[in-house]
């Protein structure tokens, strides 16, 4: 493991590093299959935009991005980000991408969300975690639900993907719910 920060059964999370931009990560954001239900994939990816994104989050107090690494091969398979951290409201948003498509459907997203949620509630002292996914993004909605999140509403026609407008399903997990045992995995 290289610079592990949070560790679970099969994966670990470490802070995103500059070198990651040189790896497969660059192409994840060009892959129309990966970005189908995301805000990415509208313009081609560029090193300049990735570098700016990396540099902003590296010094930000409100956004932090972690690499999701498959322990066994020390392989960078995706990213999970904590965004819009609000230290007064004690809330934040989680975004996730498993960019290596051969790793889909193996529970890695669920494991990463559970691992990060644990850290948010037990160390960062947050009270509310939120996430959003296009209504057709069953894998994403399901991963958040398996990690204990509940649906709380939709943002109507918030995305335009695959030739039509789609609602964004909003999900959240409160500390009280997590504590009551809705958490899985870790």
Ligand X SMILES: CC(C)(COP(=O)(O)OP(=O)(O)OC[C@H]1O[C@@H](n2cnc3c(N)ncnc32)[C@H](O)[C@@H]1OP(=O)(O)O)[C@@H](O)C(=O)NCCC(=O)NCCS
Decide if residue 45 touches ligand X (CB under 6 A): no
Instruction: Return the number of the residue (82 or 97) whose C-beta is nearest ligand X.
Output: 97
* Neighbouring residues of 32: CB distance < 8 A, sequence distance ≥ 6: 41
Helices 138-146 and 108-122: angle between axes, nearest 10 degrees: 50
Radius of gyration for the chain, computed over Cα atoms and rounded to the nearest angstrom? 16
Instruction: Return the number of the residue (99 or 121) whose C-beta is nearest ligand X.
Output: 99
Which of the residues 127 through 186 are near ligand X (CB under 6 A)? 133, 137-140, 142-143, 146
Instruction: Return the number of the residue (88 or 138) whose C-beta is nearest ligand X.
Output: 138
Binding mask 73-112 for ligand X (x = CB under 6 A): -----------------------xxx-----xxxxxxx--
Judged by CB under 6 A, which stretch of 9-17, 30-38, 60-68, 172-180 contacts ligand X? 30-38
Give the interface with ligand X as residue ranges (CB under 6 A): 34, 37-38, 96-98, 104-110, 133, 137-140, 142-143, 146
């Amino acid at each position: 493991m290289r610079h592990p920060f949070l560790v679970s059964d099969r994966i670990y999370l470490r802070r995103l590093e500059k070198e990651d931009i040189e790896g497969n990560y660059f192409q994840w954001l060009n892959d129309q299959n990966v970005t189908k239900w995301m805000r990415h994939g509208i313009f081609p990816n560029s090193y300049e935009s990735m570098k700016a994104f990396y540099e902003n989050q590296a010094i930000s107090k409100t956004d932090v991005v972690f690499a999701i690494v498959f322990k066994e091969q020390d392989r960078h398979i995706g990213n999970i980000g904590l965004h819009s951290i609000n230290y007064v409201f004690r809330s934040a948003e989680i975004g996730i991408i498993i960019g290596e498509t051969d790793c889909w459907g193996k529970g890695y997203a669920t494991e990463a969300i559970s691992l990060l949620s644990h850290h948010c509630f037990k160390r960062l002292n947050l009270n509310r975690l939120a996430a959003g996914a296009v209504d057709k993004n069953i894998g994403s909605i399901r991963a958040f639900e398996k990690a204990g999140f509940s649906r709380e509403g939709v943002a109507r026609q918030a995305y335009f993907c695959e030739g039509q407008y789609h609602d964004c399903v909003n999900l959240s997990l409160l500390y009280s719910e997590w504590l009551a045992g809705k958490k899985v995995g870790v």
